[in-house]
Structure 1
Amino acid sequence: VLDFEITEEGSAKVKVRIDSKYIVRHGCAVRVVSTGFIGTKYLQLSVGDPSAPRIKSGDTIKGISSVSIEELLESLNPEEGEDHAGKTLRDILNNIRSITRKM
């Protein structure tokens, strides 16, 4: 990552350098992902259409929104009632939190 800024619209604009040994084509997309629940975040690049032309320096790559763990947990608001899957997920995450505190 070479540069990062928040636009007036509230979206992120990230300038990255991609090694020329990687073939990146138009139609690819990028998303921010984590290595785990509390892991480091990194940029994941989809390959795009193999028949599309290669992107050039200065081209823009479309970003894809990802749901963070925090957003997922907020969506499981117990005040509004949870379905069985929501309660199970919350229990699993609480167990993971408890285990990692003991490490």
Structure 2
Amino acid sequence: MADRIVLDQSKIRIITTKPIKPGAEFPRSITWWRRNVPLWLDVSLDDNGHVVLEPNGKRADGAVLDVTPALRRRRLDAARDWVARQIHFDFINAIVS
């Protein structure tokens, strides 16, 4: 089982009926990703420029949990749900692993 989610930014599509503003396309900066991804996921870029999402054990109340295999599995399921709920972005072809 995978321990992270990897996204190829060049394959993310923006779903909108309006024209896309210049500069709003993908790829986006690591700063943008860190602002828009849930706090319980660490975001980084790999050598190919793919976005890597990994569970980190952080909670909104400031506590940090050990990332056990069970927690990792639950957080990765939640991350997949989070990706699926992004109504303005199509990640289907962008998921590398």
Greater Rg by CA: 1
Q: TM-score, normalised by structure 2?
A: 0.27
By relative contact order (CA 8 Å, sep 6+), the higher-ranking structure is 2
